[in-house]
């Protein structure tokens, strides 16, 4: 079922196959230097196995950075299943994936990612203990989105203090891209803080709901990044900060929940060159993995622990911003450097 693939960049990489259930996928453990590798399981249609392998390698590396930035005793890992979740996902296939994860004996912990739900995690949990993001159970962490949104909101205040000289978001105009689980919670927090909102989503019902709930202004999804706003908050898709969008951004601060917002690492410098402060996504959106970590680590008093970790994440972001300003560098570059230093320190 598990075939180990050679890798120079990752500790362990496996092809996962099960003929009986049609399971095809990959599991990648990028690093266990800080603890067992943790990161979600994604199911989606890929343009071939090479694309799926590339995705799992990138995502697992990203989890090492995200977990380290959140000061969690967890390494980075990720798993993908090749297939259409709406058509190909069966309980048998999920249980086969559960057996594959179990064979790694806790070096990799899974949770939800794109195409997966808490019910799917419950199916996987029938075969392995090494699964989090469950709705039920002693340490179940449930929906991480409110915690993710809280972390993004805190980061936004830190960024606002630097750019506008005050962390008070009252009267600030924020353009939010994506009104899903995180985007909606973020809008709630921003509305409560007195911010003005422009919002976009592919789903027009969500936009009209936000207009009603928050007095938001609906804007087209394809131009939301160019809204004349103080802050742009990407909370939908990756790659939104790219050579085409960056010249059009009007906001002076960009911070949101979406993973992999930069299309290429060089886009961090392009934002910096335009005088736009971009807060590294994997630091800003670490609330979700903090929430999941409380389940993996079986924390008894989870609300206190999660609040402490969110506070530490905020302190890390502030440290990154101070260093970035001192070195006249993008916070994204500084964040990568800080994480790489901390991983190296553990390695020696």
Query: From the list 1, 51, 211, 237, which residue makes contact with ligand NAI (rule: CB under 6 A)?
Result: 237
By residue count, the chain amounts to 348
Instruction: Give the dihedral sign, CA 207/212/213/215.
Output: positive
Per residue in 222-261, is it b (16+ CB within 10 Å) or e — as a string?
A: eebbbbebbbbbbbbeeebbeeebbeebebbbbbbbbbeb
Only segment of 119-127, 257-265, 298-306, 308-316 that touches ligand NAI (CB under 6 A): 257-265
Per residue in 59-94, is it b (16+ CB within 10 Å) or e — as a string?
A: bbbbbbbbbbbbbbebbbbbbbbbbebeebbeeebb
Query: From the list 29, 236, 253, 290, which residue makes contact with ligand NAI (rule: CB under 6 A)?
Result: 236
Reply yes or no on whether 78 is catalytic: yes
31 in contact with ligand NAI (CB under 6 A): no
Query: From the list 123, 201, 295, 336, which residue makes contact with ligand NAI (rule: CB under 6 A)?
Result: 201
64 in contact with ligand NAI (CB under 6 A): no
Query: From the list 16, 57, 68, 235, which residue makes contact with ligand NAI (rule: CB under 6 A)?
Result: 235
- Report the nearest approach of ligand NAI to the CB of residue 173 (Å): 18
111 in contact with ligand NAI (CB under 6 A): no
177 in contact with ligand NAI (CB under 6 A): yes
**Which residues lie below 8 Å from residue 226, measured CB to CB, with a gap of 6+?**
245, 248, 249, 250
Cα 325 vs. chain centroid, distance in angstroms? Answer: 25
**Which residues lie below 8 Å from residue 319, measured CB to CB, with a gap of 6+?**
338
Query: From the list 85, 118, 142, 180, which residue makes contact with ligand NAI (rule: CB under 6 A)?
Result: 180
Only segment of 233-241, 265-273, 323-331, 337-345 that touches ligand NAI (CB under 6 A): 233-241
Residue numbers of the site for ligand NAI (CB under 6 A)? 144-145, 148, 177-183, 200-203, 206, 221, 235-237, 257-259, 285, 288
Catalytic positions are 78
């Amino acid at each position: 079922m598990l075939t180990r693939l050679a890798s120079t960049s990752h500790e362990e990489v496996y092809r996962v196959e099960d003929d009986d259930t049609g399971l095809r996928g990959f599991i990648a453990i990028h690093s266990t230097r800080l603890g067992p590798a943790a990161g979600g399981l994604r199911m989606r249609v890929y343009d071939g196995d090479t694309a799926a392998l590339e995705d799992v390698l990138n995502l697992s590396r990203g989890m090492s950075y995200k977990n380290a930035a959140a000061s969690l005793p967890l390494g980075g890992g990720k798993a993908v299943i090749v297939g259409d979740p709406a058509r190909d996902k069966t309980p048998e296939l999920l249980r086969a994936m559960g057996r594959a994860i179990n064979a790694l004996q806790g070096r990799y912990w899974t949770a939800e990612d794109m195409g997966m739900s808490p019910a799917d995690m419950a199916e996987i949990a029938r075969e392995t203990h090494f699964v989090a993001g469950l709705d039920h159970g002693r340490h179940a962490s449930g929906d991480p989105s409110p915690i993710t949104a809280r972390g993004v909101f805190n980061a936004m205040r830190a960024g606002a203090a630097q750019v506008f000289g005050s962390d008070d978001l009252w009267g600030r105009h924020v353009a939010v891209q994506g009104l899903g689980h995180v985007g909606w919670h973020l809008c709630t927090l921003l509305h409560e803080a007195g911010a003005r909102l422009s919002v976009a989503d592919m789903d027009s019902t969500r936009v009209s709901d936000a207009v009603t709930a928050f007095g938001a202004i609906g804007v087209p999804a394809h131009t939301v990044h160019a809204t004349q706003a103080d802050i742009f908050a990407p909370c939908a898709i990756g790659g939104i900060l790219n050579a085409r969008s960056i010249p059009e951004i009007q906001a002076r601060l960009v911070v949101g929940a979406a993973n992999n917002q930069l299309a290429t690492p060089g886009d961090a410098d392009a934002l910096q060159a335009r005088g736009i402060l971009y807060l590294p996504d994997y630091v800003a959106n670490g609330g979700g993995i903090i929430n999941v970590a409380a389940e993996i680590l079986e924390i008894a008093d989870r609300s206190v622990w999660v609040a402490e970790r969110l506070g530490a994440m905020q302190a890390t972001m502030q440290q990154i911003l101070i260093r970035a300003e001192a070195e006249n560098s993008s916070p994204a570059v500084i964040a990568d450097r800080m994480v790489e230093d901390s991983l190296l320190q553990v390695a020696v």
